[in-house]
C-alpha cells in the first residue's frame, strides 16, 4: 500500500451542527491544512430522488460515492486537494464566527508551539511531510459508508438537537449548486432533513435516540470520537477546544506509531 501523504480528519453530524464552521476554524489553526466537502460530490439536481414531493438532497443517493472516494484516495496518495474537484461549498455564506478572536489566537499559538522541533507535531508533519485534510460531511458515518470510513484516519462526530438544527437550517440563505442555487422550501427540515438524519445515525446512539446518549461501544468499535459527556447543543468554543485537543492527541498516537515502524531498506 502506498504511504499516505495526508491525514484525513472526518467532521460529520447532522445538517447545521457546525461542521463547516468548525472546519474553517481548524484550517486557520493547523498548518498545511485544507478542506474537502462532501457537498461537492452532489449529483445533478435532476438525478436526486424525490421524497414526499421534495427533491431529497439529504440522503446517500444524492451523493456520488465513487467520485468522493476517488478524491479521498487522491488526497491520501498525494497530500493535495484533488484538482478534478470543483468546490462550491466555500461560496456559501459562513455567517458570524461563533468563537472569540482571543480563543482562536490562543489555539493557534498552542498548535504552533506543538509543531516546533522536538514536539510530536513536528515529528509528524515536518519529518513525514504530511498535511491535514478536513473532510466535512453530513453522512460520513452511516452504515452504508463502510468503504468511505476506511479512508478517514480521524473520525469526529458532532450533533445538534432537533430545535437547534431546524432553527439554523431554516435561517440559511441557501446553497450554491451545479445548476445555480437551492433554498429549502417550507417544511423541508421536518419532511426530509431531520427524518433522514435520525434514520442514518440512530445506530450510533443508545435506543436510537439521536438527542440522547451515544452508544459508546459502537463509537469505540468504529473509531469515532464524540463529545460523549456533553448534551446535544455544545457551544462552538468548547467544541473547537475539544476538537483541537482530540486531533493533537490522535496525531501524537499516529506519530508514535509511524516512528516505531522499521525503515525500508535503502
Domain residue limits, the chain: 6-39+91-259
pLDDT given at position 72 = 96
- Residues 180-230 have pLDDT tens digits of 677 889 999 999 999 999 999 999 999 999 999 999 999 999 999 999 998
What the block records as the C-alpha cell of 59 is: 440522503
Name the pLDDT band for 265 (thresholds 50, 70, 90).
very low
What the block records as the C-alpha cell of 51 is: 421524497
Determine what percent of the chain falls in helix, strand and coil, rounding each to the nearest 5. Answer: 50, 15, 35
Distance (Å) of CA 62 to CA 40, 51, 68: 11, 12, 12
| DSSP structure class, residue 250 | H
pLDDT given at position 3 = 64
pLDDT given at position 224 = 97
Cα-flanking dihedrals φ and ψ of residue 50, to 5°?
-110, 130
- Residues 96-149 have pLDDT tens digits of 788 999 999 999 999 988 888 777 666 666 655 678 999 999 999 999 999 999
Could you list the active site residues? 39
| DSSP structure class, residue 207 | G
- Residues 29-70 have pLDDT tens digits of 998 899 999 999 999 989 999 999 999 999 999 999 999 999
Name the pLDDT band for 266 (thresholds 50, 70, 90).
very low
Tell me the CATH architecture of domain 6-39+91-259.
3-Layer(aba) Sandwich (3.40)
pLDDT given at position 183 = 85
Distance CA 193, CA 187 (A): 10
Amino acid at each position: 500500500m502506498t504511504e499516505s501523504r495526508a491525514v484525513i480528519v472526518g467532521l460529520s453530524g447532522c445538517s447545521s451542527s457546525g461542521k463547516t464552521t468548525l472546519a474553517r476554524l481548524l484550517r486557520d489553526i493547523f498548518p498545511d491544512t485544507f478542506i474537502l466537502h462532501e457537498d461537492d460530490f452532489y449529483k445533478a439536481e435532476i438525478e436526486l430522488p424525490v421524497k414526499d414531493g421534495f427533491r431529497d438532497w439529504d440522503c446517500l443517493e444524492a451523493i456520488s460515492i465513487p467520485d468522493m472516494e476517488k478524491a479521498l484516495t487522491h488526497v491520501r496518495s498525494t497530500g493535495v486537494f484533488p484538482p478534478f474537484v470543483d468546490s462550491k461549498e466555500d461560496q456559501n455564506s459562513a455567517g458570524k464566527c461563533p468563537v472569540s478572536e482571543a480563543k482562536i489566537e490562543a489555539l493557534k499559538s498552542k498548535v504552533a508551539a506543538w509543531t516546533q522541533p522536538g514536539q510530536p507535531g513536528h515529528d509528524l508533519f515536518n519529518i513525514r511531510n504530511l498535511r491535514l485534510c478536513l473532510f466535512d460531511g453530513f453522512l460520513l458515518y452511516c452504515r452504508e459508508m463502510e468503504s468511505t470510513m476506511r479512508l478517514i484516519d480521524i473520525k469526529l462526530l458532532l450533533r445538534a438537537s432537533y430545535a437547534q438544527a431546524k432553527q439554523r437550517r431554516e435561517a440559511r440563505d441557501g446553497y450554491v449548486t451545479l445548476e445555480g442555487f437551492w433554498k429549502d422550501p417550507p417544511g423541508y427540515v421536518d419532511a426530509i432533513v431531520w427524518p433522514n438524519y435520525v434514520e442514518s445515525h440512530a445506530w450510533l446512539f443508545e435506543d436510537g435516540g439521536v438527542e440522547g446518549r451515544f452508544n459508546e461501544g459502537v463509537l469505540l468499535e468504529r473509531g469515532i470520537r464524540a463529545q460523549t459527556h456533553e448534551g446535544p447543543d455544545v457551544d462552538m468554543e468548547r467544541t473547537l477546544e475539544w476538537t483541537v485537543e482530540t486531533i493533537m492527541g490522535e496525531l501524537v498516537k499516529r506519530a508514535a506509531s509511524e516512528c516505531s515502524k522499521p525503515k525500508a531498506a535503502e
